Chain A
Amino acid sequence: MGTGLRIAGVLLFLAIVFLGVPWAIQASGRWDFYYTLTSVALLAIASAGVWLTFYIGRINIGQGAYALTGGYVSAILVMQAGWNFWLTLPVAGIFCALVSVLIGLPILRLRGVYFAMVTLVLTEVARLTALALPITNGAKGITSIPLPGEVSILGLTLIPAIDTFGDVKLAFYLVAAALMVIVFAGMYRLVNSRIGHLCRSLQQNEELASSIGVNITYLRIVAYAISSFLGGIAGAMFVAISQSIYPSSFTVVDSVNFMLNCFLGGLAYVFGPILGTLVLYFGWDLLFETGRFQLLIYSSVLILIIVLLPNGLLSVFERKRATAR
């Protein structure tokens, strides 16, 4: 693909996300799609983190734990310390990254299903911890969290309050979409830089990577911390939208779904998580009119897709590229 074509592709994508979608929603009057697409964007961000751990060869079923942690960090800072939400957003991410370093140091030595299982347990540990701690308000959760307010320095508005322009749904959509674009631009850069090259070396053979002098422990931790950072900010954003958080806000099911999003999009493609999330999440919503057959149809379609395209949806283009070359 030429550079010109690539730039055109990126511009087209941006135009669709920031202009096309609002226009189409305006035209069709399907206002409910704003929330659906906001969710897709945020879940795709969390899934991007999972994808990155896949990229270093680890099956991560623990992202729900970090989304929950990020959500609680934001909620607690807003409610108890009176912080502005926008300040808590990066803090939530960084907190999760720090926690993940502590947790990652011992568990990243595990591989394959062993790592997968430990991370699965981690999600449940996060839920039980949230239930047991006083600061998270235990079973009662944290509710009635205010919408994100204005950030200003010396009277100069840096970020307007989320309800400034009246349409909160649109505002959340634009914020989520912008975050998604930034995250995936970062991911794209990461994967196509030498770091991505090193991550692939880890994925394919850790011993060999170590023998050529790659500090595999460090690189694994870095990747896992980035992954958890993304989980944390996605979780915090969801809390801002639902204005509440409970220990059950992110559960094992979410962790599994994040992983499935990556599989479905394709583990070899950096934009796989976006497509995977879109299909899995949006697909469920589209099927809502089928009533009690919803799950049946949803799962049948899912199975068919896997059988037809076991390497993910984006592998549709794989063969073409191979023949073109």
Chain B
Amino acid sequence: MQKRSLLRLAALATLSTAVATVSAVPSARAQNESLKIGFVGVTSGPAAAWGISNVRSMEALAAMLNEEGGVRIGDKTYDVEIVTFDDQKDPKRAIAGMEKMAQEGIHYVVGPNVDDGAAAVRPVAEQNGIIYIPYAFPKELYSPPASNAVLGMVANYQSGPAIYKYLKENEGVETVAFVSANESDPLSQRDSGVAAAKELGLEVVSDNVTYQVDTTDFTPVLTPVIRENPDLLVLSGVAPANAPQLIRSARELGYEGLISTETAQDAQVLSEGAGELANGFISVGGASTPEIASDRMNAFVDRYTKMFGEYNDESNTKVYALQYILDTLAAAPEAVDDVEAFKAAMDGFEAPNPFMKGEDAKLHYVGSSSFGQKRQLAVPLVVNVYRDGAFETLFVAEVD
């Protein structure tokens, strides 16, 4: 009997050694000094798509930059190294991830992807001097006294009014209905969307229908909404996985009005999930539509596709975070290990936008009107419309 337990102990020991070895394998290192940029967000489980499009866009861009000889910051050239942490969409884990980043000496982190995680990491980020770029919309994250978070995309309370206004003026939309998942982020987005629509004088005919994110059949969910026959159906904060289903169910129920959302979507997913029923679906994206994508953007998409097999249109927006961090560091080299310098540089920062065509496309920080300080990346607000497997640009706007 003793032999058996010894055997077990031995097996366990082997196992843990194996684990330790695997986890100790050092990542590939080039001759340049490396500049670590972190990611804390969700890359497994139901919401994996959000974080993975972040991580992959960062890794693809880093690979491009390193191949080009690295990034010049002050008088040093760095290779960019991406350190990722999967928080499993659990705010408690997100804190651990942020601690890990602090431990690695990282001062610039992309993520988390959701409201609760972004709020939970705030104390750690502030204690350890970390600037982080969440994809979460609560205003108190970015408004004083908070100062370490920088919103990584266009918030729906910024894009929503622009979209509704455009549709009101160009498509004659008068009534609007909102549907959202019964979760924090989408519900908050719905509430601010409803407020924006009312502000514009639109009539909100339905705003309290919600669904569980694990819903597989949206027909019962949408039946009461479609009965109101709104001119515009807004899918607030819809996850890319749910969007095609919702569109399909709405169309199959005979709905003929417009459908829109304020989050980024993926054309491939829409095409597989809803086919031509998704035509006319309005969403917000970055800058990869042919009208505005620069050569750099196309090269990035190619690189991404080569590395990971398939591009994700959500990365159009998400690629900006790393570019902003690196360009701001280049503008204020001492910020490499001093986030206060970074913050100081943010106000006056301006650099060319490599991903967009045109001389006047610039990177700069915005957010003054929403947050009272510049704590948002100026990502081009590109409103897309889906048609036959690809996005077309409906209009481009800027956030201030």
Chain A residues within CB distance 8 Å of chain B: 30-32, 34-36, 39, 128, 131, 138-141, 143-144, 147, 168-169, 238, 241-244, 246-249, 251, 253-254, 283-292, 294-295, 297, 301, 304-305, 308-309, 316-320, 322-323
Contacts and interface: CB of A to CB of B under 8 A. Distances in A.
A319 B124 contact: no
A301 B23 CA distance: 13
Nearest to B89: A248
B58 to A, nearest CB: 12
Contacts of A253: 88, 90
Interface in B110-150: 114-116, 119-124, 127, 138, 140
A308 B12 contact: yes
A251 B91 CA distance: 11
Interface of A: prevailing SS: helix
A316 B9 contact: yes
Interface stretch (B72-80, B99-107, B263-271, B274-282): B99-107
Interface residues of B, number: 54
A228 B175 CA distance: 48
B368 interface: no
A248 B1 contact: no
B95 A35 contact: yes
9 contacts: A35-B96, A139-B188, A244-B116, A248-B114, A286-B20, A287-B22, A305-B12, A316-B5, A320-B2
Contact of A244 (B84, B114, B120): B120
Interface stretch (B179-187, B292-300, B324-332, B352-360): B179-187
Given A139-B191, A247-B184, A32 B2 contact: no
Nearest to A138: B187
B47 to A, nearest CB: 11
Contact of A143 (B8, B90, B140): B140
Contact of A241 (B95, B103, B182): B95
Contacts, number: 146
Interface in B274-327: none
A285 B100 contact: yes
Nearest to A124: B212
B19 A140 contact: no
B43 to A, nearest CB: 7
B129 to A, nearest CB: 13
Contacts of B22: 287, 290, 297
B103 A30 contact: yes
Contacts of B183: 131, 139, 247-248
A144 B44 CA distance: 28
A131 B91 CA distance: 17
A305 B103 CA distance: 30
A60 B105 CA distance: 40
Contacts of A138: 187
Given A30-B103, A128-B182, A319-B2, A290 B8 contact: no
A241 B96 CA distance: 11
B182 A131 contact: yes
A131 B184 contact: yes
B262 interface: no
B19 A297 contact: yes
Given A248-B116, A287-B23, A301-B15, A242 B123 contact: yes
The 5 A-B residue pairs with the shortest CB-CB distance, nearest first, are A139-B187, A246-B116, A32-B103, A242-B120, A244-B119
Contacts of A247: 183-184
B140 A288 contact: no
Contacts of B25: 289
B123 A36 contact: no
Nearest to A243: B123
B187 A131 contact: yes
B394 interface: no
Given A131-B187, A141-B119, A301 B99 contact: no
Nearest to A294: B86
B11 interface: yes
A280 B116 CA distance: 22
A106 B44 CA distance: 37
A291 to B, nearest CB: 6
B84 to A, nearest CB: 6
